[in-house]
Homo-oligomer: A and B are copies of this chain.
């Protein structure tokens, strides 16, 4: 099964566009063991998500133990649910191939986030296996994102467009071979998301920043869905993982995930009702 197939299946089965980001920070965790913590979160929420997104940095910060915990975490995700590794890798040629080997073969992820500042050379090595996907950073949700991503550059009509729209166009090109490219667009700027969705009607979009980061859930769903009412993964990490700092953390995570899934679905229904009417 390809990443896209797994995503569609899981999203449909769980009636969910919720992505849970696995960002284990030992200082905030009610248990010591990172793999145990992540496994408990996964077991408590696997019928509520469309994808899991482990953030590799938090595992790397723990050295060898973290690397082991990341592998165990990915293995703990039930078969059929896709794993999108948030690694934001960006290098070229044999180096990019080595990263693809690490993410896909060693760790077993179905997809990975990548940075396209180095252009096609940094993305294509991740796309050679049609069953895996690469999600290209397009417009991120952080305060300093405009410094590079919003720089104005001439467009094809004689006007101008921001750099991130050029990246969106490149992503369409990269998608043409195997249909395995996605985008990362922050949830704090629905206007940008609307532009990107218009440019890239067929690409799945990962939307970090709902939950703790305070992204605009309703606004994002209203403009970000694809023609089939999906194609969007709304990601929350801390709001789910650290919903409780006590022994009931897994139950609290489930409750937070359920609330988010249902809030997203309510926004989807609203959108389709508005369209129908």
Binding site for B on A (CB under 8 A): 23, 25, 55, 57-58, 60-64, 67-68, 71, 88-96, 98-99, 101-102, 106, 115-122, 137, 140, 142-149, 151-154, 163, 166-167, 170
Contacts and interface: CB of A to CB of B under 8 A. Distances in A.
B95 A121 contact: no
A149 B153 CA distance: 11
Contacts of A55: 95, 98
B91 A89 contact: no
The 9 A-B residue pairs with the shortest CB-CB distance, nearest first, are A119-B144, A119-B147, A60-B102, A57-B98, A61-B98, A120-B144, A151-B153, A61-B101, A63-B106
Contact of A148 (B23, B102, B163): B163
Given A89-B88, A152-B154, A23 B140 contact: no
B64 A68 contact: yes
B57 A99 contact: yes
A188 to B, nearest CB: 12
Given A57-B98, A64-B64, A151-B153, 19 more contacts: A23-B94, A23-B95, A57-B91, A60-B98, A60-B99, A63-B106, A117-B117, A117-B137, A118-B144, A118-B145, A120-B147, A121-B143, A121-B145, A122-B142, A147-B170, A148-B163, A148-B166, A148-B167, A163-B163
B137 A151 contact: no
A118 B91 contact: no
A129 B117 CA distance: 26
A142 B115 contact: no
B142 A118 contact: yes
Contacts of A68: 64
Contacts of A137: 117-118
19 contacts: A25-B98, A57-B95, A58-B95, A60-B99, A61-B99, A61-B106, A62-B106, A63-B71, A116-B148, A117-B148, A118-B140, A118-B142, A118-B145, A118-B148, A119-B143, A119-B149, A151-B151, A153-B153, A153-B163
B94 A25 contact: yes
Contacts of A146: 119
Given A117-B137, A148-B116, A148-B119, A98 B58 contact: yes
A148 B92 CA distance: 14
A105 to B, nearest CB: 8
Given A88-B89, A95-B23, A148-B116, A63 B58 contact: no
